Amino acid sequence: MADIIVPELAESITEGTIAQWLKQPGDTVEKGEFIVELETDKVNVEVISEEAGVVSELLAAEGDTVLVGQVIAVVGASSGSTASAPAAQAEAKEEVKAPEAPKAAPVVQETATEQDRTIASPAARKLAREKGINLSDISPVDPMGRVRVQDVSAHGSAPTPAKAAPAPAASAPKEDDGRTTREKMSRRRQTIASRLLEVRQSTAMLTTFNEIDMTNVMALRSRKKDQFFEQNDVRLGFMSFFTKAVVAALKKYPYVNAQIDGTDIVKNNFYDIGIAVSTEGGLVVPIVRDADRKNFAEIEANIGELAKKARDNKLALSDMSGGSFTITNGGVFGSLLSTPILNGTQVGILGMHTIQKRPIAVGNEVEIRPMMYVALSYDHRVIDGKDSVGFLKTVKELLENPEDLLLNS
């Protein structure tokens, strides 16, 4: 017998959520094979079995919160009777607790064929046994056909033909009438929500705006992109320009690259720039380490690698820990203007937006130029208006004169 235990995840992570069981009771598992996927507030982690054998029991259901060090499953030696062990153990426990015969619920036994055909979570199977419900009679909400606890509860609470259910009030529509859909927030979404709320409540956050004429940087990129790709095997995008401009501005305004620790201001002498990436599970911010020491090609390659890992849900905790400043690009979704929220303990975040052609006064003439609004949200407890405006103005000037940016990098 071997216990499957929630492993140490990271110093700041003490719990996770069962995202998906990769093995079910009765399944054979090899040593080192993945058995469960855990979702934390930062990354998903797959846990392996330390022993070969057969899964005899799952002690937590999908969606349950589990703590580091908690036993969540048991792997036993291979046996023909292993698959029925959980049910037998459950029946034995019920006999000890309540030796007298039950008063009502009819006993419904599933045939082996029904058990094979019905996909259900361990908690759903247990609840169905307790309520005397045949899993094959339940219509799950899950489009993949997996029966969950809420499906069993809804089936068990449905009104019987002999006793009509009272009509619901018009002002309180029921979820099962199709007008609303309820879903549990993922652990990552819960963490994002709580941290954003905490930032709003614990910082003196303000936002200042400017606009950048992207004519010169777009022209430079257009001239150099083919040569850049041939030499570096990576495409030249806008993010490397913005990252380099941000690093140069941070060096000029070091308080924007700081954080608060109690009553101290800690100025960072490194430039680990977070690049916000949107994934199906929510926003993540992997870090481009030592961006001041990387050239354009290295930054583009690093960003591309991190973005791919984010989309494939392969980011490690080390990819996202730390960071001294963050860049977020709402322009990829068409956002014209926004006020980004600070990331964790950082005191500054730069928001990029979509490039839009607009009439602009150039000298005494009006010209159509590709313009981008940029926003700097900052913690006013650390950064004064002079530094915030100066920082954003420096970013603007460098991007409008990209040759200067190349020299400064």
Which residues are catalytically annotated?
380, 384
Closest CA to 293 of 318, 327, 269, 329: 269
* Amino acid sitting at position 232: N
Which 3 state secondary structure label does DSSP give 160?
coil
Contact 272, 259 (CB under 8 A): no
Structure tokens at 88: 């037998």
> What is the rounded distance in angstroms from the CA atom of residue 283 to the CA atom of residue 186?
12
- The ranges of the chain annotated as CATH 2.40.50.100 are 2-159
> What is the rounded distance in angstroms from the CA atom of residue 345 to the CA atom of residue 158?
49
> What is the rounded distance in angstroms from the CA atom of residue 104 to the CA atom of residue 361?
83
> What is the rounded distance in angstroms from the CA atom of residue 297 to the CA atom of residue 409?
12
- The ranges of the chain annotated as CATH 3.30.559.10 are 188-408
User: If you classify domain 188-408 with CATH, what class do you get?
Assistant: alpha beta
CB atoms within 10 A of CB 131: 15
CB atoms within 10 A of CB 28: 13
> What is the rounded distance in angstroms from the CA atom of residue 320 to the CA atom of residue 309?
11
For residue 279, the number of C-alpha atoms closer than 13 Å in the C-beta half-sphere is 26
* Amino acid sitting at position 394: T
- Taking only the tens of pLDDT, the chain with its 409 residues reads 788 988 887 656 778 888 889 999 999 999 888 899 888 766 778 888 888 999 998 999 988 888 888 999 999 876 544 344 444 444 444 444 444 444 444 444 444 444 445 666 666 776 777 788 887 788 776 655 667 766 777 776 555 444 444 555 445 555 567 889 888 887 777 777 888 888 888 899 999 999 999 999 999 999 999 999 999 999 999 999 999 999 999 999 999 999 999 899 999 999 999 999 988 877 889 999 999 999 999 999 999 999 999 888 888 878 988 899 999 999 999 999 999 999 988 999 999 999 999 999 999 999 999 999 999 999 999 999 999 999 999 999 999 999 877 766 5
Structure tokens at 182: 């309820």
CATH topology of domain 2-159: OB fold (Dihydrolipoamide Acetyltransferase, E2P) (2.40.50)
Say what the pTM is: 0.63
Query: Phi, psi (5° rounding) for residue 200?
Result: -65, -35
